[in-house]
Structure 1
């Protein structure tokens, strides 16, 4: 399938995934918060912003002004050569994996400054920063609010089809659906389909983000899967 295309049949991919796994355990010192990342970009006349995701992901949505290349790019070295080593480089990915690798690699190559965005594109769009999307969101904020208002219990799953952690949520949601049926409304929002509603909510920092509403009020908001099934059972058991 297209969403897995860039992660198959490549020795470089295996190296990348190993490296990303390492960074997920040890946060790079070059990973900065959204506020710092945004502030530094704003201070540059022509900021060097690099989207470290795959080309399919980049085509669907990206930070305004960003260009796309990463370890998988055939012309990686040529792309790096076009950058100004004396100026900061700002990298991001779906979270902070591929972008961490890229920022660190640029520093090794002699760049003065390179920063990776904590939370990646999820954090950027999820907090309403300016971005490009190639299509209109399928779900609007007004429609979202209507769903919350018209259903007693609502579980919202916000993520991306390119997010590995988000894929682990899906079978858990199926188990929850089977147990609660029509008593629990489940809403799945993907970045690729509805980026604007994610931006309008201004509550997402990472993918996946899971929110449980009861009578229009938030019962819990989880960043990451955790023990979702148990958390839902406990929350809905409360009278």
Structure 2
């Protein structure tokens, strides 16, 4: 019994030690978008802007002055971070904040003094109409988009990206609804980063974003993850 008690005390001590380490681990700065813009402007030429997405994504659209920083191993992290100045501010973005937050934590743990994740990621940056270096066209005009909404059915528009984990997770749900409710629902999928002007005009600042129209009027909008049951409930409420 005594041995069990000692073992229990050891386990509790290890748990408290790990909890303390987690609480004291360096975290990236979390700012509002306005605070971020001010900080980026203040950093000027000292700003080190990192794009944590895939090279293909970077080529399509990226912030001016950014470098692609797609990390696939600890060795790659060490190699690429050696090119940076640990004493100068670092700004990191991805589609949202998933990959950028992971990279930010790794850099903080490796001695970088000032690391900031772009609030809302590239989705919000583009949705707010901020400039990007781009190799893709403007995409659909708003007029063409509005024309595509004309239907005697409800129209569900899915703004997403093939690179967005949350969007890919939602895809089976949208495809299922499209098949199951074909008689009363029209589904339109929009690749957000190939339609930057449209995203800006509609104020889509996060992916995925779903917009439900009835007679060309928005009746429901949802940013981020959503269950099939929730979408079905909204659709049912519009078809009564």
Cα displacement string for residues 120-157 of structure 1 (whole angstroms, at most 9, x for unaligned residues)? 21121122111122110332222122323x23522111
Partner of 1:131: 132
CA contact (8 A) 2:156 2:186 kept: yes
CA displacement at 1:67 relative to structure 2: 0.7
Cα displacement string for residues 51-86 of structure 1 (whole angstroms, at most 9, x for unaligned residues)? 011111111111222111132277543432222322
CA 160–68 in structure 1, closer or farther in 2 if over 3 Å, else same: same
TM-score, normalized by length of structure 1?
0.77
Partner of 2:209: 209
1:39-188 equivalences under 5 Å are 39-46=38-45, 47-72=47-72, 75-148=76-149, 150-152=150-152, 153-181=154-182, 183-188=184-189
| Partners of 1:96 and 1:230 in 2: CA distance | 25
CA contact (8 A) 2:55 2:70 kept: no
May I ask how many residue pairs the two structures share in their alignment? 210
CA RMSD of aligned residues (A): 2.3
CA 80–179 in structure 1, closer or farther in 2 if over 3 Å, else same: same
TM-score, normalized by length of structure 2?
0.77
CA contact (8 A) 1:31 1:100 kept: no
Structure 2: unaligned runs, 5 residues or longer: 1-26
Structure 1: unaligned runs, 5 residues or longer: 1-27
Cα displacement string for residues 76-106 of structure 1 (whole angstroms, at most 9, x for unaligned residues)? 4343222232221100112212211222222
CA displacement at 1:217 relative to structure 2: 2.3
CA contact (8 A) 1:50 1:90 kept: yes
CA displacement at 1:113 relative to structure 2: 0.8
